[in-house]
Structure 1
Amino acid sequence: MLDSKALIEIRRHLHQFPELALKEYATSKYIRHIIGNFKQEYLEIRTIEQLPTATLVYVKGSNPKRTIGYRCDIDALPVTEKTGLDYQSKNDGCMHACGHDIHMTVALGILNYFSEHQPKDNLVFFFQPAEESENGGKLAYELGVFEGKWCPDEFYGLHDNPQLPAGSIGCRLGTLFAGTTEVNVTLKGKGGHAAYPQLANDMVVAASEYINQVQTVVSRSIDPIQSGVITFGKLSAGTIRNVIAGEARIEGTIRGLTQTMIEKIDSRLKAIGQGIAISFGCEVEVELNQGGYLPVENNPELTKKFIDFMQNNNQVDFIETAPAMTGEDFGYLLHKFPGTMFWLGVEDSSQLHSDTFTPKEASISKGVKAIIQFIEFRMSNK
């Protein structure tokens, strides 16, 4: 079985060579190389021609009553690393700033154990590309990857959390992560000279009014007991100070804890766009793209079993967590299969997606052990 030293070596190699969504060729090659060194008696490795950086591994159970799925994501972010570590990213402008190198290493540790200790139930491991963008989970599902013996009866996956102690496990009933929707708003009016505003139709003013009106959506259209977020991070308009802009573009994101809430926010953004178009006599196009980034809604029955096991395991530091507004495309798979997503604490003062994110490597072995114990407990369950 891979020991702590071997797991850390794997993680550091993965950390040095991060790759962006759907371009994880070296990453997937390395993952397959590591798996190829495991005992193969119970394993079957599968690749997908239309999704070439994905890797699936089937572990044959000795007396299967179910198939348990385990997913980890393998892509990185377009972030220039500034940790100064000896093993920091060698790929310029790309970093495992969300800790997917930790995710992969934990998954490989779990798989290694079950390659040597045949599980009772069948297992399916999914090393998924394109979580940060391009919704790799949705792509795989739509390609029919999870059919036949590759269809899990239940699915599990983790995300690392720098705010929790290293090696701790965090989870909650209900929604763990928000769903996310990209918002693009294009406003088209009429450009003109700054001295003659009456002859133009200023889209800077129209865009500003749209943004101001949207600020009331969460405060006045959403149940205050629940939570939603609308953030516009980019506004583009105009070319020079003395020319009225005839076109503007706003880009942002919606976060909501239920799909119903996200759809309500979507409808309000469209309605406000229609109102601005009438008020300003302009064209307003509101484009909403959710893709596979649905809310991560944990299955009640399976998640209760998971939490009960972790709480009663004296080798695990379990923490019940609040829902987070971060997004995760595992939410799409949890809308197709019952399952649970949970946190693995990695204890760091830097946050996810930051260029100085440095998760504590002591979390890896603890995470591997806790998840192996849970899977074995689950396989002993009726």
Structure 2
Amino acid sequence: MAESVRARLSELRREFHRHPEPGWCEFRTTARLVEELRAIGVDELAVGPEAYDPDDRMAVPPEHRVETWYDRARDHGVDDDLLEQMAGGNTGVVAVLDRGEGPTVGLRVDIDGLFIEESDDGDHLPAAEGFRSETGETMHACGHDAHMTWGLATVEAIKDSEFEGRLVAFFQPAEEVSGGGCPMAESQYAEGLDYLFAAHVGLDHPTGEVVAGIVRPLAMCHVEVTIEGTSAHAGKAPQDGDNAIQALGTAIGNVYGIPRHADGMTRVNVGRVEGGTASNIIAEGVEAIAEARGETTALMEYAKDELTKRFETAAEMHGCEADVTVASESPRADSDSELVDVVADIARETGGIDTVVPTADFGASEDATFLMQRVQRDGGLATYLIVGTDHPTSHHTPTFDVDERSLEPGVEVLTNSILAVAEDGP
């Protein structure tokens, strides 16, 4: 019999850390999750298109990127049949335990990495102890390696317990691009969930602290913009051109001038621009990536509409055309107080936890809110909890790392919270 997940939390987390893959390209990661879930012995496994409708995916990367990571996974020995199930970037897995009459409880963890080259500095623990990312271009710089480890260990612990009911564990792809939450929430596996637990590590909360439920996550959208103009010789005939770069410059200034809203906070950002060919050519095309966020979903929609309008009108002013596409988005959803109380009570009784914070503002965005919103809309309860960890630098940096003392308490809090609602309700 294979050694249990709970006996090798650090080992498993470090294995995931060595092989980070970006959103919708988590082929090797999904295969490794399937291997562990099969060893645990779940009652149902759904991979890729079995778990969700591929048409519901957001922020799907270009085909060439998907194929690159697909080929890497094949070269590393991932089973051909399993790879075929994930063809086209349909990664991720849902695992189900059916244990008789009782509530249906969901558990959601995310699985993707980021396009960050991990530090090789000798003071960076993964580099010093030999589990630094091996890809050279991607990194688990947000703790998803720990999340997957929690997810597997919690499924195993629930299977070995006297749990009565149905556990549905969502190992969700593409969180970093807000691409995977929607298809998971729209799937058959999200139907009839009485309770949902989602979790994150760290987020500036130290080792030994648990936040029982986040509130006020920002609704957000990722936007892709293309501006098309007309090229011309910049010295001989500039009047014959329609300058896409000039249109973009006008648009960027106008985007940052979107008025504040009386109903609450909004955020906008233009994060990347690219275009033009030479200094003596009026640019005929540029591309940009931007985002809008809001304290509520309605405020995000306001910011998104205003951002779109400014790109379109700036392009028109300069004789160009703008195409603005929403690549992905996520709504706001707050943790339910009833589940917050359950998690807080469990955390207070968990070894390694010395501080319990009932709720905290999230301050960023998360597409787990799609699942939370689905559960709440259908009459269930949801919470998104944080298990603190000492991280030497911030999330999304080359020297981010997880304090592995947080692994076991995370499993205990998730497992016992699930058992508590299954036995007694909130």
TM-score, length basis structure 2: 0.78
- For residues 273-319 of structure 1, the C-alpha deviation after alignment (integer angstroms, 9 at most, x for no partner) is 343244333322222233xx413412434444346535754754223
**Which one of 322, 325, 331 corresponds to residue 361 of structure 2?**
322
Structure 1: which amino acid aligns with 2:246? V
The answer to whether the Cα contact below 8 Å between 2:228 and 2:244 also exists between their aligned partners in 1 is yes
Alignment of 1:304-323 (within 5 A): 304-306=340-342, 308-309=344-345, 313=349, 316=353, 317-319=355-357, 320-323=359-362
Partner residue in 2 for 1:102: 146
C-alpha deviation, 1:371, in angstroms: 2.0
Aligned residues: 368
Say yes or no: does 1:352 pair with 2:395: yes
SS at match of 2:399: coil
Distance in 1 (CA, whole Å) between partners of 2:225 and 2:35 is: 45
The answer as to whether partners of 2:106 and 2:170 remain within 8 angstroms in 1 is yes
1:361 positional shift: 0.5
Out of 76, 89, 109, which is 2:113 matched to? 76
Residue equivalent to 2:218? 178
- What is residue 74 of structure 2 aligned with on the other side? none
Equivalence for 1:57? 95
- Cα drift, residue 171 of structure 1: 4.6
What CA distance in whole angstroms lies between the structure 2 residues aligned with 1:92 and 1:262?
35
Does 2:207 align with 1:163? no
CA distance in 1, matches of 2:228, 2:239: 16
Give 1:88's aligned residue: 132
Equivalent residue number for residue 166 of structure 2: 122
CA–CA distance in structure 2, aligned partners of residues 75 and 200 of structure 1:
43
Residue 246 of structure 2 contacts residue 318 of structure 2 at CA under 8 Å; is this kept in 1? no
Give the distance between the partners of 2:282 and 2:150, measured in 1 at CA. 55
Counterparts in 2 of 1:89 and 1:312: CA distance versus 1, 3 Å: closer
Is the alpha carbon distance of 1:193 and 1:37 closer, same or farther for their aligned partners in structure 2, counting shifts above 3 Å?
closer
Q: 1:153 aligns with which of 194, 209, 219?
A: 194
CA shift in 2, pair 1:268/1:167, >3 Å = same
Question: Which amino acid in the other structure matches residue 228 of structure 1?
Answer: T
Taking structure 1 as the reference length, the TM-score comes to: 0.86
Q: Which piece of structure 1 moves more, 269-278 or 158-167?
A: 269-278
For residues 171-209 of structure 1, give each alpha carbon's deviation from its aligned partner in whole angstroms, at most 9, with x where no partner exists: 54632x323312223233333233343333333222111
Instruction: Tell me if 1:295 matches 2:355.
Output: no
Answer yes or no: is the 8 Å Cα contact 1:257–1:295 preserved in 2.
Answer: no
Counterpart CA distance in 1 for 2:233 and 2:94 is: 60
Superposition pairs for residues 1-382 of structure 1, below 5 Å?
2=4, 6-38=8-40, 40=41, 43-48=42-47, 50=49, 52=86, 53-61=91-99, 63-64=101-102, 66-82=103-119, 83=124, 84-85=127-128, 86-133=130-177, 135-147=179-191, 151-172=192-213, 174-175=215-216, 177-195=217-235, 196-217=237-258, 220-223=259-262, 226-290=264-328, 293-306=329-342, 308-309=344-345, 313=349, 316=353, 317-319=355-357, 320-325=359-364, 327-338=365-376, 339-379=382-422, 380-381=424-425
Can you list the C-alpha shifts for 1:9-49, whole angstroms capped at 9, x where unaligned? 111122122223333333233323333343x4xx4131236
Deviation at 1:241, TM superposition (A): 1.7
Identify which range, 117-126 or 352-361, moves more after superposition: 117-126
Question: Residue 37 of structure 2 aligns to a residue in which SS?
Answer: helix
Alpha carbons 2:251, 2:315 under 8 Å: kept: no
Output the CA distance in 2 between the equivalents of 1:311 and 1:367. 9
Q: What's the secondary structure of 2:96's corresponding residue? A: strand
SS in 1 for 2:8: helix
Q: SS in structure 2 opposite 1:194? A: coil
Residue 162 of structure 1 and its aligned partner are, at CA, apart by 4.6
Counterpart code for 1:182: H
> What is the CA distance between 1:362 and its match in structure 2?
0.4
Residues in 2 aligned to 1:31 and 1:153: alpha-carbon distance in whole angstroms? 25
The share of aligned pairs that are identical, in percent, is 24
RMSD: 2.7
CA distance in 2, matches of 1:209, 1:321: 38
* Amino acid in the other structure paired with 2:99: G
Deviates more, 1:14-23 or 1:362-371: 14-23
Cα deviation for residue 348 of structure 1 reads 0.9
CA distance in 2, matches of 1:295, 1:134: 10
In 2: Cα distance, 1:258 partner to 1:203 partner: 33
How far apart are residue 100 of structure 1 and its match?
1.0
CA distance in 1, matches of 2:240, 2:94: 61
Q: Given residue 218 of structure 2, which amino acid in structure 1 is its aligned partner?
A: A
Aligned residue identity for 1:179: A
Taking the aligned partners of 1:23 and 1:206, their CA distance within structure 2 comes to 34
2:99 partner SS: coil
Structure 2 distance, partners of 1:12, 1:311, is: 25
Query: How much does 1:142 deviate?
Result: 4.0
Opposite residue 35 of structure 2, the aligned amino acid is H
1:282 and 1:376, CA in 2 relative to 1: closer, same or farther beyond 3 A?
same
